[in-house]
Structure 1
Amino acid sequence: MERWLALELASTIRHDGDGGVTDDLATAQGTTRWIHEQRDLLADRISAGELAADENLRLGIVELRQAVRALFARAVSPAPPSPADAHRLMTADQALAHLNTAAAREPVVPQLDWPAEGVPATRLLSAENDLYVRLVAALARAAIEFLSSPQRAQLRSCTAPRCVRYFVKSHGRQEWCKPSCGNRARAARHYKRQRTSADGGSAPS
């Protein structure tokens, strides 16, 4: 399954397996761990393998995540957004402004690479020395790329009980982010039908 850096960032808020929600970015240590787990997706943007997050970087990434999740909620509308933060989302205008400002903090210039025996390709050369700024800007640009791509139209909020993930549909009939969520949703539907039947056809209270 293809991975998108913006989706990985949004998914740092997730179901904890026990009926609650956990935050992978709740601490600087957790944020460092998450950054290292994304090193392959970040490789073309920044070398993050040895980067350790402090509280300022953690907060910067969390604020960016809030903007990304607000724009994900806009992308899936009129379907409901993830229930994890539906009651406290930024406005779309606030989210757009935050995302674009974060992306603009790293000045980059395109450079042309053209090997003698290869095809020309573009790479971006950064003019920013602060790795923290570069990381947040890279995450913001990844979100911009995702939200302006065809994948945005396939973005969904998983409707399985207790799930809070966003996902990209990989086939036309996909309703849930993963098979376990599908199993849980089908079990919940079956239970609801059983309750309705037991109550004589009335909807459960």
Structure 2
Amino acid sequence: MLALEFVSTVRATRSGPVDALADVAGMTAWARENAGGLALGDGFTATEELRREVVELRQAVRALFARAVAPGPASAADAHRLPGFAGSLDLVNAAALAVPTASRLEWPDGGPPAARSVPAGGADESARIRAVLASSAIALLAGAERELLRACPAPRCVLYFVKEHARQEWCSTGCGNRARAARHYRQHKAR
């Protein structure tokens, strides 16, 4: 899911949080890895302005995710420095509305027809990328998966995830192992 990939550009390592969008090279690499979902060509290269706008949008989406998981805790990565809810909501909606979309029928030889959303007007690349990312976040937050959205409670993890089954507590088995090891260590240290 593109919205989760987007907010997961802030990750945790042993040395602390890492931002995949910290510079133009990182933004370019991440966008190229997600080129299909962002409808980008092979030669895409980010600009500093695009990177700043995308990071601002990401922080707004993370603020909305933090609200969606409440009363549970938000991601520890940036809960203390997220923008306010109302401003975040306005920014995400404005980004999504900046590029209206239309359905286009595609019918490949030997395949079934399919509808695909495409930009309805001539929008610049930055607005189009932010519109796709904002729309993905809106779809997740307005859909049934919002109720399954969680912030991973494992030590040092900063990711959000969609709970896939009733017993899932962490974003990955690695985080589950770290959480169990930390709990075991605390229990044995207290003795």
With the length of structure 2 as denominator, give the TM-score of the two structures: 0.91
> 2:99–2:123: 8 Å Cα contact kept in structure 1?
no
SS in 1 for 2:190: helix
Which residue in the other structure is 2:26 paired with? 30
Matching of residues 7-26 of structure 1 within 5 Å:
7-18=4-15, 20-26=16-22
CA deviations over 1:31-70 (Å, ceiling 9, x no partner): 000001112333xxx2343211010000111011011100
> 1:21–1:84: 8 Å Cα contact kept in structure 2?
yes
Equivalent of 1:136, from 130, 138, 142?
130
Amino acid at match of 1:24: A
Matching of residues 67-146 of structure 1 within 5 Å:
67-112=60-105, 121-126=114-119, 127-146=121-140
Change in Cα spacing, 1:29 to 1:113, as seen in structure 2 (3 Å) is closer
Could you list the runs of 5+ residues in structure 2 that have no partner in the other structure? none
Equivalent of 1:175, from 169, 176, 184?
169
The structure, 1 or 2, with the larger RCO (C-alpha pairs under 8 Å, 6+ apart) is 2
1:6 matches 2:16: no
- Tell me the C-alpha RMSD between the 2 structures: 1.9
> 1:70–1:90: 8 Å Cα contact kept in structure 2?
yes
For the residues of structure 1 that align with 2:27 and 2:179, how far apart are their CA atoms? Answer: 31
Change in Cα spacing, 1:94 to 1:186, as seen in structure 2 (3 Å) is same
Amino acid at match of 2:100: P
Structure 1, 59-68 or 48-57: larger mean CA deviation: 48-57
> 2:103–2:118: 8 Å Cα contact kept in structure 1?
yes
> 1:128–1:134: 8 Å Cα contact kept in structure 2?
no
With the length of structure 1 as denominator, give the TM-score of the two structures: 0.85
Which residue in the other structure is 1:196 paired with? 190
SS in 2 for 1:84: coil
Amino acid at match of 1:185: A
Which residue in the other structure is 2:59 paired with? 66
Return the index of the structure with the highest Cα Rg.
Answer: 1
Amino acid at match of 1:146: L
Identical-residue share of aligned pairs (%): 49
Residue 118 of structure 1, CA deviation = 7.5
Change in Cα spacing, 1:48 to 1:91, as seen in structure 2 (3 Å) is farther
> 2:155–2:179: 8 Å Cα contact kept in structure 1?
yes
Could you list the runs of 5+ residues in structure 1 that have no partner in the other structure? 198-205
Residue 133 of structure 1, CA deviation = 1.5
